[in-house]
Amino acid sequence: MAGTSPAMTEGFSPSPLPRWRKCAWLLSSRLRSIRFDKRSGWAIIVGQSSRKAWSHGMSIPTLIFRTIRWSAWDGCEAGLEHVDVRPADGGLAISGVVIAQEGETEFGLSYRVKLDALWHTKEVRLRTTSGHALHLESDGRGHWRENGRDRPDLQGCIDVDIQATPLTNTLPIRRLDLETGESMDIRLCYIDVPDLTASPVNQRYTALDAGSLYRFESLESGFTAGLPVDEDGFVLDYPGLFKRLA
């Protein structure tokens, strides 16, 4: 891994974030083969959250700017993620950078997700420092194309679930807009990292306390997690996997 591709750093501008840079330095000491553009950096300056709840429906607010950071559950040395969320084309554009480890494999990942006004996934682009890349497009109604070719096996998937990030748990949470006590079984496009292979999976979301706490269940593996969320529906701590830094 000679360095980070332009796609991994495009759109980021510098911002002094001592705690974030400290974590980044700790991890980069283990991942010396990964280099980030000093001019663009990892952080951006954005506005504050535009709302405290989504009680007025599931559509995206007129303005929603967020910067979100997670570490791996075991700390910054085991993994870091930086996410930029901004309004675009009537929906949202999400950009993320992840540095982490899967088994014995250390990797860097950049991803971009485009959503429409109803939180339907329309486009996903991913790239790893090992050279894997994936481009998925959806009409938002369950029809998908991968690198320009139809993916009929993904028929019926509305949301995307990227293995290496808790960011994508927000997509069904916001799209479904469940009331407290309500559950929904859904079919998603699951993206394995770092191989970047896409496959359909079945999951269940339950609103334990609408707007604050949700239960996630994998209907294939039986894995279950309680997911507390912030005022915009972004995951706080994901027990055993991720901790929110900002």
- Whether the bond between 239 and the residue before it is cis, its omega within 30 degrees of 0, is no
**pLDDT by residue (tens digit) across 15-26?**
444 444 445 444
What is the pLDDT confidence band of residue 102, given thresholds at 50, 70 and 90? confident
What is the pLDDT confidence band of residue 28, given thresholds at 50, 70 and 90? very low
Please check the confidence at residue 223 and state whether its pLDDT lies above 60. Answer: yes
% of the chain exceeding 70 in pLDDT? 74
Q: Name which of 125, 143, 139, 93 is nearest 196 in CA terms.
A: 125
Question: Has residue 116 been placed in a domain?
Answer: yes
Phi, psi angle pair for 112, to nearest 5°: -135, 135
Question: Has residue 164 been placed in a domain?
Answer: yes
Question: Has residue 19 been placed in a domain?
Answer: yes
Please check the confidence at residue 43 and state whether its pLDDT lies above 60. Answer: no
Question: Has residue 1 been placed in a domain?
Answer: no
Q: Which domain holds residue 206?
A: 6-244
Write out the E strands in the chain: 66-72, 75-88, 91-102, 105-115, 121-128, 133-138, 144-146, 149-150, 159-162, 183-192, 197-209, 213-218, 224-228, 242-244
Distance CA 106, CA 100 (A): 6
Residues 206-217: what's their mean pLDDT?
Answer: 98
Phi, psi angle pair for 118, to nearest 5°: -110, 20
Q: What is the pTM of this model?
A: 0.77
Question: Has residue 100 been placed in a domain?
Answer: yes
Question: Has residue 97 been placed in a domain?
Answer: yes
Please check the confidence at residue 48 and state whether its pLDDT lies above 90. Answer: no
Q: What is the mean pLDDT of the chain?
A: 82
Query: What's at 60, amino acid-wise?
Result: I
Task: Considering only residues 44 and 181, tell me which one the structure prediction assigns the higher pLDDT.
Answer: 181
Task: Considering only residues 88 and 50, tell me which one the structure prediction assigns the higher pLDDT.
Answer: 88
Q: How far apart are the first and last CA of the chain?
A: 29
The full 3-state SS of 69-86, as one line of letters, equals EEEECCEEEEEEEEEEEE
Domains: count for the chain:
1
Distance CA 61, CA 54 (A): 9
Distance CA 95, CA 228 (A): 22
Residue 150's pLDDT is 98
What is the pLDDT confidence band of residue 45, given thresholds at 50, 70 and 90? very low
Residues 121-147: what's their mean pLDDT?
Answer: 97
Give the lowest-confidence range in 15-19, 178-182, 241-245.
15-19
Residue 59's pLDDT is 62
Please check the confidence at residue 61 and state whether its pLDDT lies above 70. Answer: no
Q: Which residue has the tokens 């996934």?
A: 121
